[in-house]
Chain A
């Protein structure tokens, strides 16, 4: 068998194993999915009047729903990848990983199985949160099919980037608690992005941080694609962040995994 065929076959075996885990024990994924849904409902129905007044232009609550949903879709990705860090860390403490390391299988298949499984879970979560958004009134404004596909593609790419970072975090964490703590930035960064309020409503000294961190360009791009707002340089910035984080996460995870286990 060629090395590529071996890699594909072993990785799909590992993916099946991870999906089996997710199907048997869905509680972690479901818990992580609750956070963005709760925040969506909280900000629309509890804080909605004040928040919509804050985004300017005499916006009402339905306009705030439109503003909020793109950011929460990306926050959903951040949230589900915490689950990735936790499950990778858990997995590494299992004896079965040592067994995999002594078998003549494609070395990276363990990680690739985790990554593909996690991206699939993130995408399903995004679709679920998006469905809740549509149910409470989110509508795109004149987005073409191509724009929908581009938005979806960016969400998948963003999920891939954060997942590789989360895999690295899971690998360096000695246990599940540490993994969950180490992955906190993935849920904290969306809070200081343009998810809930526009960047120009933030203090001046903080605006550059909010504007150029990974989440804001991606959020602004999805907003632009679905709502027709100005994308500007955010599109390229979002793609650049995704590629950079994917590359970083990939090489980091690979080098940690290839070290001698303790």
Chain B
């Protein structure tokens, strides 16, 4: 059995009447990437703040162990094991990038020469050498993020928390950040990542947990999560109402959208299934104006589990919920 880098039982936090985390269990094995996924306000940042010792959990919380240390009993040992890059830039804007790095080296009690070596190395790795002597407040958003992560790496932490590390970055910077995160994990570092980008979780994470309204609504690999929703379907669109009506009659098990004149037929999208649909349309003498095949992706999982409606499809009627998570109110499972 692999050791757990992060283990939390029944994480609870509320502010007044507002329950932010309502009993969240987390278990992250060493040297893996764990992604906490959820809509804005789901409690992702609060979870990171508690696990990184920034704020305390509510009394009802069970044990929290980070890197084998009990967070409640020995927070300093936890702090020595972790590195944190929060959602908002944690750099000192008044001093230069290099001075920020040397400050971190001093606080990690590195010797002067070691501090200079690590600083030069990380500035180089994060492509900040040219800007090293400029005040951090003059950096672009992407540069500040890179400096932020570089500062987190100064003490060579074994467990790194990244709270929405690519929010606000352009696509190139985002891919660079992904590369950096992959390199960290290949060196044996454990990464706890929050994100609202499904693609990011899909690309990076070994395991994904979906947080909604302070509760975990699903947990597993990207593949396992995708299996939770039976979102695969074929969509037929018509312009002729008569053709639409007769197609709806000719095909069984359809979901109708009378306003948009579209039909959805549950389907895995295989050649066989498609031929069956087309055969039935042909034999009824109906021709659809458009046919699209839709396979489930993490978007479907996310929308299904977090109860959000699918954007850009306002006419979509509610469908019966087919997910395996019966406690969550859901609508619009595609």
Q: Which residues of A contact B (CB under 8 A)?
A: 1, 9-10, 13, 16-17, 20-21, 24-25, 94-96, 98-105, 260-261
Contact = CB atoms under 8 A, between A and B. Distances in A.
A103 to B, nearest CB: 6
Interface string B57-99: 0000000000000000000110110101010111111110001
Given A21-B94, A95-B88, A96-B92, A9 B109 contact: yes
B91 A13 contact: no
A184 to B, nearest CB: 25
Nearest to A96: B92
B27 interface: no
Contacts of A96: 90-92
Contacts of A21: 94-95
B86 A99 contact: yes
A112 to B, nearest CB: 14
A7 to B, nearest CB: 12
Contact of A102 (B53, B94, B99): B53
A75 B154 CA distance: 43
B95 to A, nearest CB: 6
A1, A10, A17, A103: most-surrounded residue (chain B CB, <10 A) = A103
Nearest to B103: A17
B247 to A, nearest CB: 57
Given A1-B109, A98-B54, A261-B54, A103 B92 contact: no
B55 interface: yes
Interface residues of B, number: 29
A98 B90 contact: yes
Contacts of B90: 94-96, 98-99
A96 B88 CA distance: 9
Interface of B: 52-56, 76-77, 79-80, 82, 84, 86, 88-95, 99, 103, 106-109, 135, 151, 155
Contacts of B108: 103
Report whether over half of chain B's contact residues are helix, strand or loop; otherwise say mixed: loop
A94 B93 contact: yes
Contacts of B107: 10, 13, 100, 103, 105
Contact of A13 (B80, B82, B88, B103): B103
Contacts of B155: 103
Given A1-B109, A13-B107, A99 B151 contact: yes
B91 A101 contact: no
Nearest to B53: A102
A25 B56 contact: no
Given A17-B92, A96-B90, A96-B92, A104 B80 contact: yes
7 contacts: A13-B106, A17-B103, A96-B92, A98-B88, A102-B52, A102-B84, A104-B76
Contacts of A9: 109
A1 B247 CA distance: 78
A95 B86 contact: yes
B80 to A, nearest CB: 4
A206 B196 CA distance: 63
B92 A94 contact: yes
B99 A20 contact: yes
Nearest to B154: A103
Contact of B79 (A24, A25, A95, A103): A103
A102 B82 contact: yes
A101 B54 contact: yes
A205 B91 CA distance: 53
Contacts of B86: 95, 98-99
Contacts of B88: 95, 98
